[in-house]
Chains A and B, each alone.
Chain A
Amino acid sequence: MEALFYVFSFIAIFSALMVVTMRNPLTSALYLVLCFFALAGFYVLLDMQFLAVMQILVYAGAIMVLVVLVIMLLNISKIKSVKTDLHQKIIGIAISLVLLVEIIFYIAYGTTKKPTGIFTHSVIDKIGNTRVVGEFLFTKYMLSFEIASILLFVAIIGAYLFAKKKF
Chain B
Amino acid sequence: MNNYLIVAGIIFCIGALGVLMRKNLIIVFMSLELMFNAANLGFVAVSDRLNLISGDIFVIFVMVVAAAEAAVALGIIVAFYREKGTIDIDKANELKN
Contacts and interface: CB of A to CB of B under 8 A. Distances in A.
A82 B23 contact: yes
Interface residues of A, number: 81
Contact of B11 (A13, A43, A48): A13
Q: Is the interface of B mostly helix, strand, loop or mixed?
A: helix
Contact of B41 (A28, A42, A74): A42
Nearest to B86: A79
Contacts of A20: 14-15, 17-18, 21-22, 27, 31, 34
Q: Which 6 A-B pairs have the closest CB atoms?
A: A162-B75, A155-B68, A92-B20, A92-B21, A103-B9, A117-B51
Interface string A86-127: 001101110111011001100110001101111110001000
Given A35-B11, A162-B72, 20 more contacts: A5-B3, A19-B31, A20-B14, A39-B41, A42-B44, A47-B48, A50-B56, A59-B33, A59-B63, A67-B74, A74-B78, A82-B24, A82-B90, A97-B13, A117-B47, A117-B53, A133-B57, A136-B53, A154-B68, A163-B79
Q: How large is the interface on B (under 10, 10 to 19, 20 to 34, 35 or more residues)?
A: 35 or more
Interface string A135-147: 0110001001000
Contact of B34 (A19, A84, A97, A158): A19
Given A84-B21, A137-B57, A16 B11 contact: yes
A158 B75 CA distance: 8
A5 B75 CA distance: 37
Contacts of B66: 58-59, 63
A32 B5 CA distance: 20
Contact of A17 (B12, B14, B69): B14
Contacts of B11: 12-13, 16, 35
Given A16-B34, A66-B74, A116 B51 contact: yes
B57 A12 contact: no
